[in-house]
Structure 1
Amino acid sequence: MNAQALALGAVAGLPDGLRELRVRVRRFLEDEIAAGGFAPEVDAWMSGVDPAFSGRLAGRGWVGMTIPVAYGGHGRTALERYVVTEELLAAGAPVAAHWIADRQIAPSILRNGTEQQKHRYLPQIARAQSFFAIGMSEPDSGSDLASVRTRAVEVEDGWRLTGTKVWTSVAHLATAVVVLARTDDAGDRHAGLSQFIVDLPHPAVTIRPIITIDGAHHFNEVVLDDAVIPASGLLGRRGDGWRQVTAELGNERSGPERILSTLPLLREWARPENLGDDPVAHAELGRLVSRLVALRRLSLSVAERLAEGESPAVAAALVKDLGTEFEGDVVDAVRRHVAPDPGGRGLAAMLAKAVLHVPAFTLRGGASEILRSIVAKELSS
Structure 2
Amino acid sequence: MQALTIPPCRLDASCESLRAEVRDFLAEAMRDIPEQVRARNWSGSDPAFSRKLGERGWIGMRWPKRYGGHERDALARYVVLEELLAAGAPVNFHWVADRQSGPLLLRLASEATKLDILPRVARGELRFCIGMSEPDSGSDLASVRCRATQTADGWRVNGTKIWTSGARDADYMIALLRTDGAPGDRHTGLSQFLIDLRTPGIEIRPIRNLLGHEDFNEVHFADTALPRDALLGERGGGWNQVSAELALERSGPERFLSSIQLLLEMIDAADPANPRHTDYIGRAVADIATLRQMSLGIAGMLARGESPALLAAIVKDQGALFEQRIVQHAHDLFGERLQAPGTPLADVMAYLIQASPSFSLRGGTREILRGIIAKGLELR
Aligned to 1:6: none
State how far apart, in whole Å, the 1-side matches of 2:36 and 2:353 are: 18
8 A contact 1:177–1:200 mirrored in 2: yes
Aligned to 2:344: 346
**Deviation string for 1:190-217 (max 9, x for gaps)?**
0100011111222211111111111112
**Deviation string for 1:241-263 (max 9, x for gaps)?**
00110011000000000011111
Gaps of 5+ in 1: 1-11
Aligned to 1:369: 367
Query: Map of 1:196-345 to 2, 5 A cutoff?
Result: 196-271=193-268, 273-339=269-335, 340=338, 343-345=341-343
Query: Map of 1:62-101 to 2, 5 A cutoff?
Result: 62-101=58-97
Summarize the Cα distance change of 1:249–1:342 in structure 2 as closer, same or farther, 3 Å threshold.
farther
Summarize the Cα distance change of 1:370–1:342 in structure 2 as closer, same or farther, 3 Å threshold.
farther
State how far apart, in whole Å, the 2-side matches of 1:117 and 1:298 are: 35
User: What amino acid maps onto 1:182 in structure 2?
Assistant: R
**Deviation string for 1:326-352 (max 9, x for gaps)?**
111111111212244595331111011
Gaps of 5+ in 2: 1-8
TM-score normalised by length of structure 2 = 0.93
8 A contact 2:270–2:277 mirrored in 1: no
State how far apart, in whole Å, the 2-side matches of 1:275 and 1:369 are: 37
Aligned to 1:31: 28
Aligned to 2:19: 22
More displaced stretch, 112-121 vs 122-131: 112-121
TM-score normalised by length of structure 1 = 0.92
* Deviation (angstroms), 1:307: 1.5
Aligned to 1:7: none
More displaced stretch, 337-346 vs 86-95: 337-346
User: What amino acid maps onto 1:213 in structure 2?
Assistant: L
* Deviation (angstroms), 1:106: 1.1
After superposition, the CA RMSD in angstroms is: 1.8
* Deviation (angstroms), 1:13: 4.4
State how far apart, in whole Å, the 2-side matches of 1:275 and 1:263 are: 19
Summarize the Cα distance change of 1:153–1:36 in structure 2 as closer, same or farther, 3 Å threshold.
same
State how far apart, in whole Å, the 2-side matches of 1:217 and 1:342 are: 27
Q: Aligned to 2:158, what secondary structure does the other structure show?
A: strand
Q: Percent identity?
A: 50
State how far apart, in whole Å, the 2-side matches of 1:194 and 1:282 are: 51
Q: Aligned to 1:260, what secondary structure does the other structure show?
A: coil
8 A contact 1:40–1:91 mirrored in 2: no
User: What amino acid maps onto 1:15 in structure 2?
Assistant: D
User: What amino acid maps onto 1:237 in structure 2?
Assistant: E
Aligned to 1:9: none
Q: Paired residue for 2:106, among 107, 110, 128?
A: 110
Aligned to 1:4: none
Aligned to 2:354: 356
**Deviation string for 1:135-179 (max 9, x for gaps)?**
001111132110011000001111011111111111111111111
Q: Aligned to 1:261, what secondary structure does the other structure show?
A: coil
Query: Map of 1:144-163 to 2, 5 A cutoff?
Result: 144-163=140-159
State how far apart, in whole Å, the 1-side matches of 2:34 and 2:304 are: 36
User: What amino acid maps onto 1:303 in structure 2?
Assistant: A
State how far apart, in whole Å, the 2-side matches of 1:150 and 1:299 are: 33
